[in-house]
Amino acid sequence: MRARVVKIGNSQGIRIPKTLLEQTGIMNDVELDVGKDKIVIRPISNPRIGWENAFKAMSDNLDDTLINGDENISHSWDEEEWRW
């Protein structure tokens, strides 16, 4: 697909057809990367999507208590990997 670079204020830009935006999942903010002879546009993912529901489920299951610093929590990895 071809597109024309157009003047937008003091900058330039291209119009991206709606079908391309829908296919890529691009809605709002994007990340731009510059390669040797190309510009890559990709959607910004939100790594915290679903956290609110996960924390709610933890609370409902009473699995959201803080670990007491006085408790001795150890793992075999602690003994195998750490040398003092």
Mean pLDDT by 10 residues, the chain (84 residues): 92 93 88 93 84 90 75 70 65
The CA distances from residue 2 to 5, 14, 15, 16, 17, in Å, are 10, 10, 10, 10, 11
How do the domains of the chain map onto residue ranges? 17-63
What does the angle CA 4 – CA 9 – CA 18 come to, to the nearest 5 degrees?
45
Q: What is the pLDDT of residue 70?
A: 61
Q: Which pLDDT tens digit goes with each residue over 5-20?
A: 999 999 999 999 999 9
